[in-house]
């Protein structure tokens, strides 16, 4: 590129369009996860509650109760707070890693949600203390998984084929078409204009073009 030449900018380039929804979603996920972790800590790490869920024979005791709580706290802190912030940084920097990172995040979120739901439904909500609300929780959890599936199947193709994503993060100027370079042709009578191209002689006679496919040496005689 010559010095001082301007790089063409695609009309799709920039954080706009559907990417605004992605940005809002990441922000809301981060905020919601922070409050979720706070609620877990406040609800379960109080001395009385902790004693109930860790004492064998208690109505709220299950050997996997505490591991599941710790699992949810760790996963939410790492995968739903730190990772979304990292993705937002990649987005605002227009880093080319963002589309792939976002796809991995969507798939990972769905897998973790399925694992967490399966653990909770088959352990904690089998306790007699939760028997009354178990059907309601299960139905709600499966509904959320279904919504996450739809969400994932919509956004993964978007990050793969979106013109805005490619123009913003992969720097592909879709709407830029360089002007065709016109080649000046000398004013020569059409009867005398000859051109050899890929061993095929093209003859222009009185404005009509025809190709001679036979490979024969060019001769002026």
Distances (CA, A) of 140 to 28, 60, 68, 73: 20, 21, 19, 21
218 has a pLDDT exceeding 80: no
171 has a pLDDT exceeding 50: yes
Q: Rounded mean pLDDT of 205-213?
A: 45
Helix residue spans in 45-97 (DSSP H): 47-54, 65-77, 83-92
Return phi, psi of residue 124, to 5°. -60, -45
Closest CA to 61 of 109, 138, 129: 129
Instruction: Please count the structural domains in the chain.
Output: 1
* Interatomic CA distance for residues 128 and 151, integer angstroms: 34
Cα 217 vs. chain centroid, distance in angstroms? Answer: 58
The answer for residues whose C-beta is within 8 angstroms of residue 29's C-beta and 6 or more apart is: 80, 84
Predicted confidence (pLDDT) per residue in 46-65, tens digit: 999 999 999 998 999 999 99
Does any domain span residue 11? no
Percentage of residues in the chain having pLDDT higher than 90: 59
Average pLDDT, the chain: 80
Q: Is residue 120 within 8 Å of residue 141, measured between CB atoms?
A: yes
Does any domain span residue 161? yes
pTM: 0.71
Does any domain span residue 190? no
Predicted confidence (pLDDT) per residue in 60-118, tens digit: 999 999 999 999 999 999 999 999 999 999 999 999 999 999 999 999 999 999 999 99
The two tokens of residue 128 are 């007699």
Does any domain span residue 37? yes
Does any domain span residue 127? yes
Predicted confidence (pLDDT) per residue in 175-188, tens digit: 545 545 545 444 44
CA dihedral 146, 150, 152, 154 (to 10 degrees): 180
* Interatomic CA distance for residues 72 and 120, integer angstroms: 10
Does any domain span residue 13? no
- Assign 131 a pLDDT band (cuts: 50, 70, 90): confident
- Assign 13 a pLDDT band (cuts: 50, 70, 90): confident
**Structural domain range at position 105:** 19-169
């Amino acid at each position: 590129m010559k010095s001082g030449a301007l790089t063409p900018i695609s009309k799709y380039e920039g954080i706009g369009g559907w990417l605004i929804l992605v940005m809002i979603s990441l922000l809301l996920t981060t905020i919601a996860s922070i409050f979720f972790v706070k609620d877990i800590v406040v609800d379960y790490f109080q001395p009385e509650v902790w004693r109930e869920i860790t004492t064998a024979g208690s109505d709220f005791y299950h050997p996997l109760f505490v591991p599941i709580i710790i699992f949810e706290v760790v996963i939410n802190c790492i995968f739903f707070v730190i990772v979304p912030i990292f993705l937002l940084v990649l987005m605002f920097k227009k880093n080319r890693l963002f589309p792939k990172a976002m796809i991995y995040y969507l798939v990972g979120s769905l897998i973790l949600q399925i694992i967490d739901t399966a653990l909770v439904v088959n352990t904690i909500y089998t306790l007699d203390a939760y028997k009354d609300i178990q059907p309601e929780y299960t139905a709600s959890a499966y509904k959320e998984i279904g919504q996450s599936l739809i969400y994932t199947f919509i956004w993964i193709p978007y990050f793969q084929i979106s013109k805005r994503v490619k123009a913003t993060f992969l720097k592909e100027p879709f709407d830029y078409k360089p002007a065709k370079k016109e080649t000046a042709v000398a004013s020569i009578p059409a009867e005398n204009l000859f051109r050899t191209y890929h061993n095929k002689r093209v003859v222009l006679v009185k404005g009509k073009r025809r190709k001679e496919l036979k490979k024969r040496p060019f001769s002026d005689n």
